[in-house]
Each structure stands twice: as C-alpha cells, then as structure tokens.
Amino acid sequence: MLRIGSVPYLNAKPLVDWFHSAECDVDVEIIYAVPSKLAQMLRDGELDVANVSIFESFQNPRLVLIPNISISATGAVKSVRLFSKMPLSELKTVALDTSSLTSVALTKILLREVFRVEPDYHHHAPDINEMLRHYDAGLIIGDLKLFDLLSATQSYDLGLGWFDLTGLPFVYAAWLAREESLSKELVETLHRAKVWGVARREALAELWAERMSLPLERSRDYLLNVMDYDLGEKHLEGLLLYQEKCYHHGLISELFDLKSVAISSMIASA
C-alpha cells in the first residue's frame, strides 16, 4: 500500500481527490495533516510521499522532488497572509502559524527585504484573534474564510509580496518522496491524480465550497484562477531563488541541489 500525505486545504484537492474517487485503481492510504506535521512524518518514515511544504526539500537532501506538479501561484495567493495591527515597517512582534514551514520563512524574507524590519517571532497556533491579542501581527495559512476580518487590521498577501519583489511565481508545496519509496509507478500515479483533478476543478470548487462553508465564487476563483499545479521553468527559477534567499538569511544551513526524477524516463503523461 502506498502511504500518501497531503495538506487538508482546498488548494490540494485537485491533486488528491482522485484517490477518493471510483476511478482510482491504486491501493493507497491518504493521511491528512498540516505541512509541519507532514514533514515530520516523512522524516520518520511514516509516509512514502507527501504534498508538503517546499521548504522541507531544502532541509532534507534525501527527499526527491516529483517533477511537473506543484501548488504554486503567480501573484496574490489569498490563503497565505500576514494580518497586522500597524504598518508592516513598524512591526516589533509577529506570531507565526505553527502549521507552516514555507510561509514562515517567506514572511521573514519579505519583512527583512521589503520592509526592513526584523521583529521578534513567536510560534503560535493558527488563531488570528489570539495572535493579534498578544502580538503586532500574525501569519495564517490555508484559511480562505479570513476576509474583512477586523476593521483595524490590514492584511499582506505573501504571494503578491514575493511577485512584487521577484516577478516570479512562488512554489508553496510539491510532492516530495523518500528515495527508497520512489518508483515509476509512484510518479505515474501522482500525475494521473493531477490530470484527473485539474480537469475537474470547477466541480471540485463547488463540492468543497459546500463542505468547507466557503462562498462558491471564492472557491471557484481560488481553484481556477489563483492556483497553479504545474512546475515549469519559471516555477523552478522562483523555487531556486527562494532557496538562495533562505540560505542568505540564515534560514537553512546549506545549499544543495534539489533531487528530481528524470521526466522522460519516469512519467508516462504529464
């Protein structure tokens, strides 16, 4: 049985819902958890592959990046935002969502490079009201319900911040596999799931809008217009620049080449 980990957020549904469909002919177990938990489960050998924070690929050189699939966005991503009670250039304290790896590092990069501040950071459960009660700002990922939250609160979209800084897409997550679990069948299975889900984004938006109690238009816009599930040259350029910035800012201890399987030999259809 293939052990697959995925985040529980709306953005991952086009990559994993095939596994729950009648068309799936692969013996799999799907485990849902927040990014930080999935990363630990990969390290502990509890998963074969996970749709996990791309930041984990910078920390674990034994993980293999599955090509041509990602959870990315070019510009505003709408589900990764920093909420603040004051101008970001004046921040002294910031609460960081304990669910996150990638966006925590991105927050630190953007605040330092764009706003020239280095506030004190505190890890906190993803409760924006509690975050703002104790700190100047709070990072929340994955919650599309947090719109027009508080009249005295401003929000900063990290995806838009990255694009304004670099002009490149940002890769939030990708399929990362343990070396010993990698196979041609695994890669083909993940690509079959992607093709199925991307073709059904409209239906998935309707289904999950109801299940997640989201406005339908918000769900549709997110899956059809915001999310990008490819991993092309521009995505990789943005990914490598993010890795370099993480190293430059002391967020990772070393730079190493990211491992990826050969597309021509491992993928039947992309």
Residues belonging to the chain: 270
CATH for 80-166 is 3.40.190.10
For the chain, the domains span 2-72+171-233, 80-166
| Spatial CB neighbours of 45, under 8 Å, sequence gap ≥ 6 | 178
Per-residue pLDDT of the chain (270 residues), as tens digits, is 899 999 999 999 999 999 999 999 999 999 999 888 999 999 999 999 999 999 999 998 889 999 999 999 999 999 899 999 999 999 999 999 988 889 999 999 999 999 999 999 999 998 888 999 999 999 998 877 766 566 678 899 999 999 999 999 999 999 999 999 999 999 999 999 999 999 999 999 999 999 999 999 999 999 999 999 999 999 999 999 999 999 999 999 999 888 876 543 344 444
Do 80 and 157 touch, CB atoms closer than 8 A?
yes
| Spatial CB neighbours of 251, under 8 Å, sequence gap ≥ 6 | 105, 108, 109
- R_g (Cα) of the chain, nearest Å: 18
Q: Which pLDDT score is estimated for 89?
A: 97
Q: What is the pTM of this model?
A: 0.91
Q: Which pLDDT score is estimated for 268?
A: 42
Report the C-alpha gap between 50 and 101 in whole angstroms.
14
Q: Which pLDDT score is estimated for 144?
A: 75
Report the C-alpha gap between 217 and 206 in whole angstroms.
9
Q: Which pLDDT score is estimated for 237?
A: 96
* The listed CATH number (2.40.30.10, 3.40.50.2300, 3.40.190.10, 3.30.70.960) that belongs to domain 2-72+171-233: 3.40.190.10
Q: Which pLDDT score is estimated for 269?
A: 41
Helix axes 102-113, 233-248, angle to 10 degrees: 70
Q: Which pLDDT score is estimated for 267?
A: 43
At 170, is the secondary structure helix, strand, or coil?
A: strand
94 bridge partner residues: 121, 137
Q: Which pLDDT score is estimated for 270?
A: 41
Using CA atoms of 23, 28, 31, 37 in order, give the dihedral in degrees to the nearest 10.
-130
Q: Matching CATH topology for 2-72+171-233 and 80-166?
A: yes
Report the C-alpha gap between 82 and 12 in whole angstroms.
21
Do 103 and 9 touch, CB atoms closer than 8 A?
no
Q: Which pLDDT score is estimated for 56?
A: 92
